Structure 1
């Protein structure tokens, strides 16, 4: 008997990811993602600040950092506090200008992600300069809106369901958001519509499950065994966050390769 289709796709996807140096490509995505961190957070929470008091931005944002390893979560939380403190007196017009500039600055990470996903599906991107940048801005804007919505939803869930149940529910919601984001990326990014829904669901399911598991495992390791501060000093939190970004990017590319392998199976 042959291997079940799902496991065959996983095996082929892993082989494709290894052969195409996905680990190295993921490192580039992590670098650009780190550069886009501040403008992305600024855009997300400035947008959120249009409907919520600035004082609550950092509080709600802390709900989203639960999936991050400890030091990385502290780094992101600190950036959120700085953003909230910096924009308490801005006018609505000023906030809109700041959001536009932040989106423009964060689009470079989306551009790197588009290139990597096209490579995973062995698709040549023939979009022009304007179309490529528009797609990157659409992806960035979608991520910004998703961050803002998830901040509010996870805070509400954690408030209604207190304790470990609320934390678990928030964790599941973040995983579902990751699944939805990966599914859309696998379906929309390749210029040729070559990915069916079933194949995209396999890849995005693998990404979401692997992402939550890897985040929890790496967070446990970094908090209990990996003394990054002793090795890197004040850069320890940066190293932890970059490593988490690399894991996330690699799993997203692995999911793309699994989706591509599923598409090519009869």
Structure 2
């Protein structure tokens, strides 16, 4: 954001909820700008690819852990209820490996179960590693953690995702039988159970997003209040996109006609891409909120600007406190920067691909739109990346 002139006045807000309306306007404008400059669409595609490769090991881990407390048949039933809110084709892709995992969990005992679980978690860690890298880009950080620490973090994220899926599956299964548990509620119980399902998913999703935003980037952790807006946005956005995309696939999409037997895989990849995009957009929002205030947004005792161990916490957005905006140090070159038209390329590609599923002339028009957007994305002029000194860690106690 060097050289930008979006913020009208500096602020020392201690919480994003105490920011003025003009501050929020500046934050939203910069969030959209940074989403393009950080190539969020392209990064989300990479996260979706690694997430796809990690999906089967993750499902295996979920089944093995869940199978420790319930019967294998119940595991399959509960997980299918969890997947029922997603586009139908996703359940087709997941069903086979899930059935195999249920059978394996029924056979595995003792050390065999421990080894199988370890292999599954290790196989799924690359998906978590891709999320860690993507969040470093959103928060303008370079990765400095060692190989062992980084892999332990990826394994922890994978394990947390597995536990989250188990909690969600159990909660949704219970809510799905609310009418049987409380028959006196009648039809109201069904409506309440369905609404509660989405509320539970939203809360769990927001909690998982906030945890990722706090611990995944290589920086001094942000306080929870500075992670809340992006977490709520990502959770609500994910629910809306999941339901909307599911309706589109069920009523308008024709992926099987275009991709044949790969149609279900394309649906799954598209859903993973949209989910990753929303997660990263929430991170960009949180980063710009921290960038808007001069107050210390990191954990621990407050320290001056430049010594907080986080780029967005160490630098304040350009302001007019005293004449023209002061020169700001260049952001870390964590990702290639895009020009303004390229910021629209990712959503246009998705729109073109969706339109390409229609019959008749719309199919060819949609593919042409997607191709044109891809060409604009990869043939844009590049800005030279600027680098500058940046404190990388909070000073130790006693350091002047």
Counterpart of 2:270 in structure 1 is: 243
Q: Distance in 1 between matches of 2:151 and 2:267?
A: 30
The structure richer in helix per residue is: 1
1:138 aligns with 2:156: yes
Partners of 2:25 and 2:242 in 1: how far apart?
23
* Aligned-partner SS, 2:274: helix
For residues 64 and 192 of structure 2, the distance between their equivalents in structure 1, rounded to whole angstroms, comes to 30
Are 2:286 and 1:259 aligned? yes
Paired with 2:208 and 2:267, the residues of 1 have a C-alpha distance of 23
Q: Hey, what does 1:185 align to over in structure 2?
A: 212
Contact 2:66 2:75 in 1 (8 A): yes
Q: Residue in 1 aligned with 2:311?
A: none
Tell me, yes or no, if the aligned pair for 1:40 and 1:106 is still in contact at 8 Å. Answer: yes
Q: Are the aligned partners of 1:27 and 1:246 in contact in 2 as well (CA < 8 Å)?
A: yes
How far the C-alpha of 1:241 sits from its partner, in A, is 0.5
Instruction: Report the CA distance between 1:24 and its aligned residue.
Output: 0.5
Q: Which moved more, 1:196-205 or 1:42-51?
A: 196-205
Match of 1:87, SS state, is helix
5 Å matches for 1:65-76? 65-76=83-94
Q: Deviations over 1:69-101 (max 9, x none)?
A: 111133223432232133322213211111000
More relative contact order, 1 or 2 (CA 8 Å, 6+ apart): 1
User: With structure 2 as the length reference, what TM-score do the two structures score?
Assistant: 0.64
Matching residue within 47, 50, 67 for 2:65: 47
1:126 is the counterpart of 2:144: yes
Q: Deviation per CA, 1:132-166, whole angstroms, max 9, x where unpaired? A: 00111111111111111221121112112553432
Distance across 2 between alignment mates of 1:104 and 1:219: 31
- Larger C-alpha radius of gyration, 1 or 2? 2
* Shift in Å, 1:20: 1.0
Tell me the residue number matched to 1:166.
193
Cα distance between partner residues in 2 of 1:66 and 1:221: 15
Tell me how far 1:28 sits from its aligned partner: 0.6
Given that residues 196 and 263 in structure 1 are in contact (C-alpha distance below 8 angstroms), is that contact kept between their aligned partners in structure 2? no
| 8 A contact 2:178–2:190 mirrored in 1 | no
The residue aligned with 1:209 is 236
Runs (5+) with no aligned partner, structure 1: none
Q: For 2:222, what is the secondary structure of its paired residue?
A: coil
User: Quick check: 184-193 or 110-119, which moved more?
Assistant: 184-193
C-alpha distance in structure 2 between counterparts of 1:130 and 1:53, whole Å: 35
Pairs aligned (count): 266
1:30 aligned to 2:57? no
